[in-house]
A and B are shown apart, each in its own frame.
Chain A
Amino acid sequence: MDLVATKTYPSERRPIRHLDPVLLFAVFVLAVVGLFMVYSATHQSLSAVGLDPGTFLKKQVTFVALGSVMVLLAASFDYRFLKVYAGLIYAASLVLLVLVRSPLGTSVKGSQRWFQLFGFQFAPSEIAKLALIIMLATFLSELRSGDLTLQEVYRATAIAAVPGVLVFLQPDLGTSIVLVTILVGVLVVAGARARYLGILALTAVVLILGAFQMGLVRDYQVNRLTSFLDPQNDPLRSGYNRKQAEIAIGSGGLFGVGYLQGTQTNLDFVPEQHTDFIFTVVGEEFGFAGAFTLLVLFGVLIWRAFRIALLSKDPFGTYVAAGIGSYLAIQVFVNIGMTLGIMPITGIPLPFVSYGGSALLTNSAAVGLLLNIHMRRLK
């Protein structure tokens, strides 16, 4: 394994010449779509209270700019250096997850997830995703090749469990689901036998039931789940959100009602619309055509991630790329699934499209890492 970063490349092998343009293009389009959607979702309510209708748009533009810098940063060094600092990054993310529950963190809507920093909110659970991917990839890539033993599977699970539990206690069910998915995705690629994964799933079920039994799950989480299973149960609260989201998307029809024309969007019928429910804006204003195009873009993004995992010259790169692919895929599926009424409502943003700095920077870093692995696939 070559850990020398200062290695000089022949000109045709210079990493910059091996960017993944398809990946970059998909991400760029998604981010631009996100800007339009954030404006559509927020301009009306902002001007209604006398604020600049572009307030959120401008912030998101800033985030996108910062995100571009983040892509460059994450792609600029040889990703294999991360193996050296994996432990440190992992530990730091755990410390932040603990600190966010201290008075340093900010509580919003019943859960303590954010640090308030320079006027921006910053969620350590976002960092935890990347930290976990790097930590798992490092751990698994250092094992001998061949199928994983049950003990190795358990150790990997333990690595994921620590941030998973901390995030779950915030409480942030959505990120917990993402962390578990990352674990499963990386384990599958690393060669865990189906049997072991089955055992893992069984353990998870037991633990989840235990959590319910011990009252660790908050009322509102139970509510969301039950209203997901039975939308009539709670029509004015979480069920109402679901119903309004479905109406927004459904009313878009094949081609949508037109940009800035959505009544569900403009009149605040869908809650959290610039963040978790941003997909409803696409659905209402651009219809099936727009929503499906967005799905295709995400498909391209995830395809490129898995392709990069395949092309990577070392297992570490493969695991990192596979972890990132899994994490993007589950975020897209859970987020869009929730707006379509086929997944419970959890606070998971739609990558690159939802308003929000932490997620955008994290996703940018992930894309930077993917590019990094892709650029350096040729020895």
Chain B
Amino acid sequence: MKNLKLTKGLVALSTAALIAVFTVAVPTVARAADDCQETTIPSGIKVVDIEKCTGTDMNKSKYEIIMPAKFNGTLMVYSHGIRYNVNLPAIPVVAPKGSLINYAPEVAPSEEVAAALLAQGFALAGAGVQNQGWNLEESVEAALQVITIARDKYPKVGKVVAWGNSLGGLASQALAEQMPGAVDAVAPMCIADSAQAEITYAGDFLWGMKQFFNPAIKGTNYSAGQAGYVEMLTDLGTVLTTFQALQASITVNPAAPEWPATSTVPAALKAIPVRSAILLLGLISGVPTQSNTYDASSGPAGALETTFGLAISPALAVLENGAQAAVLAVIANYDMELRYGGVVFDNSKTDYAKRLGDDSDIFVAALTGKTATAGMLGYLSPLNPAAPRVTANAAAVAKMNSVYQLQGKIEVPTIQIAATADHIAPAGAAQYLKNQYEASIDIKTSKSGKLLTIWNKPAAEYTTFSAAGSPVAPTGVTNGTQHCNYTTSQILAIAKLAASAAKTGKIPSSTAVKAAIKNEPNLFVNPNFAPPLLKFRQ
């Protein structure tokens, strides 16, 4: 609890929560007055009568509460995922039209989901946190405040489900762990791992790009003030042009693409197809080998039919996923360094050969064999002065880790969903929560039967090819890949299961879960399925 910067009133609540036997009255918190309007929203062919209230909590986070006229008694409190904490000019891929820091409240993962839930009688609430970037503490507090405000305004609220995407999923879980009794069920979706685990994931990939492909990438240790901001923007441009060069090289010669001109690795390394170097970086960082376009299985008809899936597709998947992971690394490193007062990424002691593990056998063909793999790992070795490691600022890391870390202490039914090829919050983050929970049961801190994990996987084969044999980018987004890329029906299934769990205090029966996902071929439940943890955790 000490990690939460709670308001006086809410501290009173949390203290009371620990000792209360019955209902606790919460002092009214000081905040700006609500602005409530009765209106309607369309939901399919229906029109739903609602009351929408907006306001600002006492930490100046904006919030929104939507109460349907036909309320079913359950409030769904949504925590949004990470947003950029900087204004960005127009940058292709990252912010094509430019972007300003977004403080708007969100009450659901999408308007369509919101409309569907309101039509079913759920009340919705959510905040736009006053500080963006990696704002776990603020996000938890914002969720707690909006719950308090909603309960205060609508005493008819019976059950509360905390749910969220990515960092918001982590915040929902952190809220439930720290504030037992505040919520009745939790539904973390595409849950993020801790700040250190996530920055290690993205940072490893970015560091590898710098060493292999473009030493001009700064990656870490951005300067203070305007100079640092310019460095960060410059890095984004450098990363993107490096990816473009890699993409162009692979397009020209997929089997044996050349290294980009900016690379300074020795000629012997450049004899290895650069796709193998891209794949190696993905594997040592934990970037999924399936992406929106590439399934690591399909191939064009003809000579490359199996070679493409074996040796080329996994690398292209890493390239597609890695572009966004690297961009995230740049922006997140910049944000966290400002937030925590120094460099937080650290690979000074990382053993990348160990990190590669069995993947050196599994992807040996795509890595161009054992000899090439050893050569690439040798270049990334700490003994190579040409590839200097990064040492973090210990005080900054300590500050980063002083925020609440998940314990897996689960007291209310918790239903999480995670995609096996999520490239921003890899499935290992959800597995980590599972592991923490199981450990918590072992030490009798938690009771069993409170956590259900639903996995979202892509189809076995989904890459399509043109008549000329070139891979074709899908028109939509491939379910099971990308970050928090669930369909509306999948999200609604999770929401309904969580709401049901909130009412009963139990995880729905396996029959009920099967029924809820029976029309979702990309969802499955298997208690023994265990995706690899993020590399930081291994």
Asked if chains A and B come from one complex, the reply is no
Which B residues contact A (CB, under 8 angstroms)? none
Binding site for B on A (CB under 8 A): none
